[in-house]
Amino acid sequence: MEGGLNEGLKVRPPGMEPFESNVTISKDNTDISAEQNLLFVKRETGGQDDEDDDSDEDDSDDEDDQSETGDDSSNSGSEDTGRDAEEEGGSEGPRGEEIDNQGTDAVKVPAEKLLAQIREKLSSIPGLGISNDSPHSELIEYLTASMAKLSAENGMLKKALQTAKERPLAEGPKAVAPTPAPENTGEQENTPDEPEEPVFHEVHLVRCYPQKNTYFQDVPRMFKGDLKSDHLRGRHGLENMATYLKKRKQVAFVVVHNYQCSCSGGTDYHRVVGYKDGRLIDDSPLAEAETKHIVCNMNTRKAMTEISKAHPGSFEGWNIKRLPRYSYEPHFIYYVHHKTFSELADSSNLNDFDARSIKLVCNWVAENSKEDWDEADDMFKRGKVAAQHYSKLFRPGELIVRQQTDRPGITWVYKIDSYPWASPDCDQVGTCHRWSFNGHFYKIQANLNFSFMYSQSQTEISPDDGEVDITSLNLYPLRFAKPELYNSLLARGSRFWSCRKKKIVAYHDPDQDGEDGSRELAEHRFMVDYNIFKRMHPHNSLFSTETDDLGSEAMAKNEPPDDQFLALLPPEMHAFDLGAKTWKLLRVDRITDVTWNKDAFKRLVLPKENKELIQAAVMAQGRLLGASPDIIAGKGQGLLILLHGGPGTGKTLTAESIAETQERPLYRVTCGDIGIEPAYVERYLESVFTIGKAWGCVVLLDEADVFLEERNPTDQKQNAIVSVFLRLLEYYDGILILTTNRVGTFDEAFKSRIHLALRYENLKEDQRVEIWRNLLSMLKSRDDERIDINDLLMNVNKVAREDLNGRQIRNVITLARYLAKFRAEMMVYRHVQDALASVVKFDQYLLGLRGHDDTWAAEQRLR
């Protein structure tokens, strides 16, 4: 077949699709535009980029690089672009529209000569006849023309590639434009070790799911003829960021503008521009970046590392092993440290280029964030903050306050150890820690986020609010709090430190009050002892760790490590309630030292000789502890006191007064606490005596009738309880006081074990007068009530004529107080008269039923 190359391309066997190309080849020459064949240019450079992907410049300390979505984890943008063009049958860029040549001369190829050479070569092959009569002539002619065209294109593309690389790029007003990577010739790049002046580049990143995220030199857009399935893109693709920076040592950092592709929730340009038959009718406007971040070169980051190593005190919380490669708006690290970095860059041992690179980064970030930073600084000076500035509130190395929303008044303090993980949507305050205690001081790590700043119900503070007071948030830096808060935290920490070892403390709950104004004896007492707590509750989660971060040496010192340590201590601690006999969690700020009532024993209404016996026995037991008079070691070292008599005669008050005088905890136990099952009784009493010995308690076994009752051959359970109690008494070396109203049923075996037995007679009138005066005088301390003390004391002799016991007298006074409050009157003698009348009537009623209590008890052989 004769004719030009174009005619040959039209000849094809029946059914064969025409060979399509964007290149137009004429009879005499072939013209090709470098821009039109950008696809093939990218293919050639893309191979090199993919190889460089495996040789990322990041060292082992840059694990954070791999976590960044759409940066180093993605391959070259040119690879994706090339694939899209191949699938759609055209080159990257506008579809079906001529692209400007941008000054590139057409490349001419002598196609006729090349076609003649191919035909001559084919004619020389034996058996392959090329003639007009040959049945294969059309096929051979088609293949010949195709081979000539492809060969011509190959030469032209090489020429176009070289031309594209040599084309100069215009510089922007702020940054040096990125330059394409040099051709991979296998030779080392001819770049100086230290470029003269550091620069930064600006590139554009299209984030597209499920496609790969892609970098471009130019601002991306959609092009005329694009389908909805097409992706936002630029004309000039880039390799991955690590390779890009590795090849450009003079680039200190890159500003990355981030865009969202329309297929991943970005702008739908088909609706913005308009479409026909599903295709855009025109090019879309240039896309607008949603966010931007910077990526620092490896050398820039290494220079920052050198500065932070040389000046660790200036960069608290800066992790020199994982310096962030990326910095997202609002560039928090630079917000805190940009001035420090710039100042230290000049005074450090860095080379001039690295020093200028650091200052270039800091200055650019400061200039581009100035408006945002200034707004935040202005709010902070006024003690205000808005949600967009939450991240700027917190700085590593400082203390932050967290108010517990579900428990008002509970304040936790944390120290920020490091910056939050680099992420564009990070809501973390950073890695924090506080101190905890379980017998040893250990640190608890925590990751706090902005959700802790406002209430879960969001009824008061919401993240959508405008400016709010910083201290109204549930989480804020301590530097914004009033000095009174910091002082209270130090006081709270000092109390905690003083209780790190075994200690009896008082606890004052504002919601509770004493019954009769006697706060000294009604005061709530607790024992702090984490060793005993662990022995009694070894499976408590508090003891799941054996870590001792403070150390025994620091623990043994009287002074705490420092004030910051005190502020970081917990707001609560565990203690044993000596009244309720359970472990509770107490607020440390409500714990005080015990005020021992030394006058309690003096006010005790007892015969003088009985007081002397009690004092002598108690004081001697303390001095002689350990000097056992028994042949068997460990036996007979305790002090057992039996107090027996009618109710309200002062037996329990005597035990309480002994504990106050000796400054010992009072551990009161009743038969109801112990139970009636022998096995349980034994375990319970063992725990009581263990606690009593460990804490030096005065153990009061109140109403101990069941343990003292004479054994009966018909009641095996009662006999077992008495036997257990007798055996345990032999080895208890503390003070044990037993009280009973039923000494008449006393078992003979106890006689030899009791060191002191005292009988409490019914109160005489002079004793009742003394009790009335003591109890009424204690009302003077009640400032919250209106009480006429003089009027009450003047009439003591009148009320003392009634035959009441001590407990009844206390009840009358309490009832009189309630009556005065109800009537909104000052408490006077009249109120005592009214309360006393009700008690006397009830006693007379009981007397009429069964006679006097003493007479009835004697008849029953109880006392």
Q: What is the pLDDT of residues 407-416, one digit of tens each?
A: 888 999 999 9
Q: Tell whether the model's pLDDT for residue 796 goes beyond 80.
A: yes
| Arithmetic mean of pLDDT over the chain | 76
pLDDT recorded at residue 772: 93
CB contact at 8 A, 573 and 528:
yes
Which pLDDT band holds residue 466 (cuts at 50, 70, 90)?
Answer: confident
Q: Which CATH superfamily is domain 600-760 in?
A: P-loop containing nucleotide triphosphate hydrolases (3.40.50.300)
pLDDT recorded at residue 153: 72
The pair of structure tokens assigned to 406 is 């579900």
H or E segment and range at residue 172:
none
pLDDT recorded at residue 88: 33
Residue 641, strand partner residues = 737, 756
* Residue ranges of the chain that CATH labels 1.10.8: 765-859
Cis amide prior to 330 (ω within 30 degrees):
yes
Task: Give the list of residues 6+ apart from residue 499 with CB closer than 8 angstroms, or none.
Answer: 505, 528, 573, 588, 591
Quickly tell me which residue has 């594209």 as its tokens.
164
Beta strand 384-385 pairing with 475-477: unpaired
pLDDT recorded at residue 154: 78
860-863 contacts, C-beta under 8 A, 24 or more apart: 860/744, 861/744, 861/745, 862/741, 862/742, 862/743, 862/744, 862/745, 863/644, 863/645, 863/646, 863/741, 863/742, 863/743, 863/744
Which pLDDT band holds residue 510 (cuts at 50, 70, 90)?
Answer: confident
Q: Which of 327, 324, 265, 264 is nearest to 291 (CA)?
A: 327
pTM: 0.69
Quickly tell me which residue has 């009429």 as its tokens.
848
The pair of structure tokens assigned to 579 is 């009244």
The mean per-residue pLDDT over the stretch 566-570 comes to 97
pLDDT recorded at residue 130: 54
pLDDT per residue over 608-654, tens digit each? Answer: 888 889 988 888 876 544 444 454 444 557 889 999 888 888 899 99
- Distance, CA of 213 to chain centre: 33
CA 80 to CA 75: how far, in whole Å? 8
CA 158 to CA 40: how far, in whole Å? 9
pLDDT recorded at residue 323: 66
pLDDT per residue over 286-332, tens digit each? Answer: 999 988 999 999 989 889 888 888 888 787 766 655 666 788 888 88
* Residue ranges of the chain that CATH labels 3.40.50.300: 600-760
CATH code, residues 765-859: 1.10.8
